[in-house]
């Protein structure tokens, strides 16, 4: 459910960016985008319940891939509320990127592992020129290497960023890279954000053990059976000098 718990934060950042940059049309890069859930929720102002309903097994059972793609194109075209929001995706899963772009959940997509190497020229074109980079749960599997390559592709332009990071994954290395590129980073201190329930008791034990090793208190959070994420918002120093980040991180 992290796309839903993160959505109000993204909406607030989008609104602040538009005011600060005096720009209506935004291009967002969703890192670890999978099938474009964040894109659908932001462009169409949907909730997770809506998406679960659209893809309920009883609804899609027996449908062929091309039929679902055509259905999604019609559905999204009717539901889009923010037509000045463009979302492109980056994910290691080619089937997910392929479906999301064909169904127009995403305006473009790249299936690549930027942990291993920089993007191919045609992929760099998709990743270039973004205004905001977001992620909901891929940090930890994706490291500072991917973030640095995204920054290099966009240089000298520096997009704002908003990353939702599971508490068992430190953000310090990514924050250091961002600082080196002239960013200011703030963490939302007032709350954590539900990601999903633990699938098994073994998964729960492993996560609690990892958190304990990091000195993180899981009481009232992961100990209750849910992954929790923290939100980090980063923007270039020159933008932060023109507005106060604190309202964004005190939500």
Q: How far apart are CA 103 and CA 195, in angstroms?
A: 25
d(CA 112, CA 93): 8
**pLDDT at site 246:** 59
Among all chains, which residue has been given the structure tokens 């918002």? 233
Residue 240: closest CA among 184, 186, 201: 184
Q: Which of 118, 113, 110 is CA-nearest to residue 89?
A: 110
- Write the CATH number for 153: 3.40.50.150
Q: Is 237 a domain residue?
A: yes
The whole-number average pLDDT for the span 149-168 is 96
Distance separating alpha carbons of residues 119 and 244, to the nearest angstrom: 34
Can you give the pLDDT at residue 242?
A: 60
Cβ atoms 130, 159 nearer than 8 A: yes
Kindly indicate the confidence band of residue 241, based on its pLDDT and cuts at 50, 70 and 90.
low
Number of structural domains, the chain? 1
Comparing C-alpha atoms, which of 135, 137, 136 is closest to residue 147? 135
In a domain, 124, yes or no: yes
Does a structural domain hold residue 233? yes
pLDDT above 60 (res 251)? no
Q: Is residue 209 part of a domain?
A: no
Establish if 58 belongs to a structural domain.
yes
Q: How confident is the model at residue 59 (pLDDT cuts 50, 70, 90)?
A: confident
Task: Let me know how many helices (H) and strands (E) the chain has, helices first.
Answer: 12, 8
Per-residue pLDDT band at 159 (split at 50, 70, 90): very high
**Model confidence band, residue 247 (pLDDT cutoffs 50, 70, 90):** low
Q: What is the rounded CA–CA span in Å between residue 1 and residue 3?
A: 6
> Which of 251, 185, 184, 240 is CA-nearest to residue 21?
240
The answer to whether residue 185 scores a pLDDT higher than 60 is yes
Domain contains 68: yes
Range of the domain at 39: 2-197+229-249
Indicate whether 216 belongs to any domain: no
Which of these, 138, 162, 118, lies nearest to 26 by C-alpha position? 162
CA dist., res. 140 & res. 247, Å (int): 27
**Does a structural domain hold residue 214?**
no
Which residue carries 């954590």 as its tokens? 192
DSSP 29-81: EEET-TTTHHHHHHHH---HHHHHHHT-HHHHTT--HHHHHHHHHHHHHHH--
């Amino acid at each position: 459910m992290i796309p839903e718990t993160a959505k109000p934060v993204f909406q607030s950042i989008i609104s602040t960016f538009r005011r600060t940059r005096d720009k209506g049309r935004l291009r967002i890069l969703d890192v670890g985008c999978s099938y474009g859930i964040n894109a659908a929720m932001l462009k169409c102002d949907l909730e997770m319940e809506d998406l679960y309903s659209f893809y309920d097994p009883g609804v899609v059972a027996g449908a062929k891939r091309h039929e679902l793609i055509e259905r999604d194109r019609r559905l999204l075209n009717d539901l889009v509320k923010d037509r000045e929001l463009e979302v492109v995706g980056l994910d290691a899963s080619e089937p997910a990127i392929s479906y999301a772009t064909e169904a127009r959940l995403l305006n473009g997509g790249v299936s690549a592992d930027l942990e291993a190497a920089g993007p191919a020229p045609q992929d760099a074109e998709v990743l270039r020129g973004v205004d905001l980079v977001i992620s909901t749960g891929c940090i930890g599997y994706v490291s500072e290497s991917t973030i640095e390559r995204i920054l290099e592709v966009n240089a000298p332009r520096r997009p704002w960023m908003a990353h939702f990071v599971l508490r068992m994954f430190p953000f310090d290395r990514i924050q250091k890279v961002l600082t080196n590129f002239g960013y200011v980073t703030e963490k939302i201190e007032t709350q954590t954000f539900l990601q999903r329930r633990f699938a098994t008791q073994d998964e729960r034990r492993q996560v609690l053990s990892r958190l304990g090793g990091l000195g993180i208190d899981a009481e009232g959070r992961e100990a209750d059976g849910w992954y929790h994420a923290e939100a980090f918002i980063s923007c270039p120093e020159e933008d932060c000098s023109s507005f106060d980040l604190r309202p964004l991180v005190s939500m």
